[in-house]
């Protein structure tokens, strides 16, 4: 059976029409699942019993489970056990503008970024849309509050699980679903260029973030194997195309690695690469892990890098640090559990 939480409202409309019912029943189902937070199909009381019986033979509403929660200042890290026993993570962050959840998109990751804990345990499989939706639902149930924004930036490369990610976005963005505004949803990619072009043709109005982390092929090749397939020149062309098609600003994620990509020459290279583009640079202090031989740039080096970009007119911020004391770096908790 298929999990009901993995269906968009359009897909459910097609289902109900296919069994001779009115498509508005899809809206009723969404209201039960996401507004009334009702998991038991049999309790969908405004749908006829014969239809419910048929649904119960075709759909499940089984949930993944919270296995562990670690808590720090303004952050909670969740370890989930999936129905097949695999494990993933999500992080809840409290900002002054609301609650944000960073969700995983795959079990493991094949991108192999050298500084990332997620890639140490290789990709096992893609997550189904319902497994991503349920990360948010379980966190909301745990904290008894509504999540305001979502970033798809946890374990896995979202564009390597493209179809399920698009379904997930449509479900959480739906007014009868989780009703999270498109401009409060961000999807991140390390640079799968064909999917960037495909994504630019969708009218979703969600945010795109690029995990760049290096301003030259020399640096990026050392820390991000994907660059050997899709190099920086090709990536910048794809980003420019996305901006031109969507008229939307792109976030450039740049993790600060001590003496790897945080020198003045790196800052100047980044300026040459991005100046004049409608982008926003997010400098990320590195969350260190004992399993990987990289260290975090100190505050002085981060400040110097920031000031260099700022002086040349780039829109840049330094991300507030979250969860260094609770293994909040992507993949750390799962890796420790495994």
Q: What angle do CA 158, 159, 161 make, to 5 degrees?
A: 70
d(C-alpha 117, C-alpha 104), whole Å: 13
Residue 273 Cα distances to 102, 208, 281, angstroms = 28, 18, 12
pLDDT at 323 over 60: no
Phi-psi region of 270 (alpha: psi -120 to 50; beta: other; left: phi over 0): alpha
d(C-alpha 181, C-alpha 160), whole Å: 24
Phi-psi region of 112 (alpha: psi -120 to 50; beta: other; left: phi over 0): left
Residue whose entry in the numeric block shows the structure tokens 């400040």: 303
pTM: 0.94
In 3-state terms, what secondary structure has residue 133? helix
Q: Nearest Cα to 277, choosing from 305, 304, 242, 318? A: 242
Q: Nearest Cα to 209, choosing from 284, 320, 305? A: 284
Query: Is the domain 2-60 a CATH 3.40.1190.20 member?
Result: no
The token duo for 188 is 């991140």
d(C-alpha 224, C-alpha 214), whole Å: 9
- Tens of pLDDT, residue by residue over 247-294, are 999 999 999 999 999 999 999 999 999 999 999 999 999 988 776 789
Residue 68 Cα distances to 17, 88, 225, 263, 336, angstroms = 41, 11, 32, 38, 12
d(C-alpha 198, C-alpha 196), whole Å: 5
More confident residue, 334 or 95: 95
Q: What angle do CA 233, 102, 60 make, to 5 degrees?
A: 115
Query: Is the domain 65-337 a CATH 3.30.565.10 member?
Result: no
For CATH 1.10.150.530, list the domain ranges present in the chain.
2-60
The token duo for 251 is 């976030």
- Tens of pLDDT, residue by residue over 2-14, are 999 999 999 999 9
- Taken in order 180, 60, 135, 185, the sign of the CA dihedral is negative
d(C-alpha 37, C-alpha 39), whole Å: 6
- Tens of pLDDT, residue by residue over 164-211, are 999 999 999 999 999 999 999 999 999 999 999 999 999 899 999 999
d(C-alpha 320, C-alpha 201), whole Å: 32
Q: What angle do CA 93, 9, 135 make, to 5 degrees?
A: 25
Q: Nearest Cα to 204, choosing from 185, 179, 182? A: 182
CB-CB contact of 26 with 38 (8 Å): no
pLDDT at 337 over 80: no
- Tens of pLDDT, residue by residue over 113-133, are 999 887 677 899 999 999 999
d(C-alpha 298, C-alpha 23), whole Å: 57
Catalytic residues: 89, 330
User: Comparing 65-79, 175-189, 228-242, 317-331, which segment has the lowest mean pLDDT?
Assistant: 317-331
H or E segment and range at residue 171? helix 162-173
The token duo for 82 is 């999936």
Residue 66: what are its φ and ψ, rounded to 5°? -80, 120
The token duo for 218 is 């020399």
CB-CB contact of 261 with 234 (8 Å): no
């Amino acid at each position: 059976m298929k999990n009901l939480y993995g269906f968009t409202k359009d897909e459910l409309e097609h289902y109900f029409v296919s069994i001779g019912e009115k498509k508005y029943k899809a809206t009723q189902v969404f209201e039960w699942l996401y507004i009334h937070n009702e998991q038991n199909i049999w309790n969908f009381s405004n749908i006829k019993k014969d239809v419910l019986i048929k649904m119960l033979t075709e759909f499940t509403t089984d949930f993944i489970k919270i296995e562990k929660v670690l808590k720090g200042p303004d952050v909670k890290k969740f370890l989930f056990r999936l129905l097949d026993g695999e494990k993933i993570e999500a992080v809840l962050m409290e900002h002054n503008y609301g609650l944000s959840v960073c969700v995983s998109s795959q079990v493991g990751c094949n991108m192999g970024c050298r500084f990332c804990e997620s890639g140490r345990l290789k990709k096992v499989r893609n997550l189904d849309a319902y497994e991503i939706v349920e990360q948010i639902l379980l966190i909301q149930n745990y904290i008894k509050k509504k999540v305001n924004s979502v970033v798809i930036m946890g374990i896995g490369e979202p564009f390597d699980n493209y179809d399920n990610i698009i379904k997930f976005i449509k479900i959480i963005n739906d007014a009868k679903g989780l009703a999270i505004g498109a401009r409060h949803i961000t999807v991140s990619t390390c640079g799968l260029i064909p999917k960037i072009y495909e994504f630019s043709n969708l009218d979703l109005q969600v945010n795109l973030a690029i995990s760049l982390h290096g301003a030259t092929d020399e640096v990026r090749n050392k820390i991000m194997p994907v660059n050997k397939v899709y190099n920086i020149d090709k990536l910048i062309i794809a980003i420019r195309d996305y901006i031109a098609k969507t008229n939307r600003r792109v976030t450039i994620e740049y993790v600060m690695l001590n003496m790897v990509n945080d020198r003045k020459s790196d800052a100047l290279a980044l300026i040459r690469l991005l100046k004049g583009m409608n982008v926003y640079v997010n400098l990320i202090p590195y969350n260190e892990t004992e399993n990987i031989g990289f260290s975090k740039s100190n505050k002085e080096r981060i400040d110097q890098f920031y000031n260099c970009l700022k002086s040349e007119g780039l829109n840049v911020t330094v991300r507030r640090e979250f969860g260094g004391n609770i293994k909040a770096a992507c993949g750390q908790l799962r890796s420790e559990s495994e």
